[in-house]
Amino acid sequence: MTTIRLYNTRTRRKEDFAPLDPENVRMYVCGPTVYDRAHLGNARPVVVFDVLYRLLQHVYGPDHVTYVRNFTDVDDKINARAAESGRAIGEITAETTQWFLDDMAELGALKPDHMPRATQYIPQMVAMIEDLIAKGHAYEAEGHVLFAVDSWREGYGKLSGRTVDDMIAGARVEVAPYKRNPMDFVLWKPSDEDQPGWDSPWGRGRPGWHIECSAMAYELLGESFDIHGGGNDLMFPHHENEIAQSCCAHPEGDFARVWMHNEMLQVEGKKMSKSLGNFFTVRDLLDQGVPGEVIRFVFLSTHYRKPMDWTAEKAREAEKTLRKWYAKAAQGVGTGQPHIAVVQALADDLNTPLAISELHQLYLADDVATLRYTLQFLGLLAADLPDWVSGPTFDLSILGDMLSEERSRAMKNKDFSEVDRLKALLIDAGIEVRMRREGVELVPGPDFDPAKLESLK
């Protein structure tokens, strides 16, 4: 069995991955707050952990992996969007949830096994909060319930590597008069008539953000599970608070054993920002004609623990490479197993840049079936070639038949000018032309550029 090594944020080292139960490998990834379209940065953790999901399924079997990614559908941003638009909250969250699923599918992301919505687990959150109060880890104050950080000082801060005192000194936190400690965080807060709310022992209200993931993870994965993932912007306070409340509510468990965080995304070397004019959603790119496979390829070209810079040039190069690979993959059927070198690259802490490099080498080999299957394994190719690469440009057999017919015609009329013209076009496009008695074989080379064959359509 392939040994997977993953960098654990909590221990700050790369470790051999040993699941609690190989028959049920469990992973939880923090999902989106659904109030608008997913921007490009939102998509990076989806692609990163989709690759990990695929790797885990390959190693342990598709029936032995449970992947949970939540939707936060109760949040002040959603409330604000509803107030601005005059639309119902449920209408907004249903629409934006489907937008998210559609856009991520365009990037080749598989659906997780469970996609819980926070509003479906309010009773479980209330029960967890009651338990935390009973154990002395939380307290009620002015209609709010807060987690008491001082009750778990020995564990708080280990994920982010900070002490409670350091966090108090440097954090921007809401300093409310009802807090015993500035670092105490909200588990439950009151709702007014215009806000969504549920009945609770502390009055009508709604959950704080952090308790949502703890309650859903516990219900779907248990008190201990294997992997918890998300962007590194969630490490503090969200993931730190998840650990605190989960370990205090269920001290018999470990909560998540391995913590993985992807780095942030930049655009053309700068932080994505509306003020800089470089902020765009996944749908913006798709509508501009950038294929989802190209977006995914650009993401995979940078290791998940390094900042990723999206540039138009990278997208152009990615499309050129994929067109070349698809041209060869179209000549075979993807069966068997993914290329072992690609699997080994992913098993080394999701080294996707190395996996891409191995794909380049695989392209140069003649194992078309393995190339196609490996592209499918990485989520870079569905069962069929995508629409944006369909047509005669990618059916090299048609071009070969065309050249063969022209050669037969030329041999009769002794005029090889058209044959020479077609050969020159093909060679200029990076195709090796092998002319034999039995026919013509066209082999795309490492510099194959299908765009140069547009005139042959």
Per-residue pLDDT at 394: 52
Query: Is there a contact between 200 and 280 (Cβ–Cβ < 8 Å)?
Result: no
Per-residue pLDDT at 159: 95
**What is the three-state SS of 225-268?**
EEEEEEEHHHHHHHHHHHHHHHHHHCCCCCEEEEEEEECCEEEC
- The Cα–Cα gap between 449 and 429 comes to 5
Per-residue pLDDT at 321: 93
The number of beta carbons lying within 10 Å of the beta carbon of residue 137 is: 21
Domains plus CATH for the chain?
A: 7-265 (3.40.50.620), 289-389 (1.20.120), 392-456 (no CATH)
- The Cα–Cα gap between 430 and 452 comes to 9
Per-residue pLDDT at 331: 81
**H or E element that contains 444:** strand 439-444
Strands 185-190 and 205-207: antiparallel
Per-residue pLDDT at 393: 45
Per-residue pLDDT at 259: 98
Q: DSSP for 185-234? A: EEEEEE--TTS--B--TT-SEEE-HHHHHHHHHHHHH-SEEEEEEEEGGG
- The Cα–Cα gap between 315 and 307 comes to 17
User: Between vectors from CA 113 to CA 111 and to CA 116, what angle results, nearest 5°?
Assistant: 95
β-partners of residue 228 are 28, 259
**Which segments of the chain have a pLDDT < 70?**
167-175, 334, 390-395, 397, 446, 454, 456-457
pTM as predicted:
0.86
Residue type, 17: F
- The Cα–Cα gap between 206 and 75 comes to 9
Which residues, at least 6 apart from 39, have a Cβ–Cβ distance to it below 8 Å? 272, 279, 280, 281, 282
Q: Establish how many alpha carbons lie within 13 A of residue 64's alpha carbon, considering only the half-sphere containing its beta carbon.
A: 12
Per-residue pLDDT at 186: 97
DSSP tally for the chain: helices H, then strands E:
15, 15
Handedness of CA 419, 424, 425, 430 (dihedral sign): positive
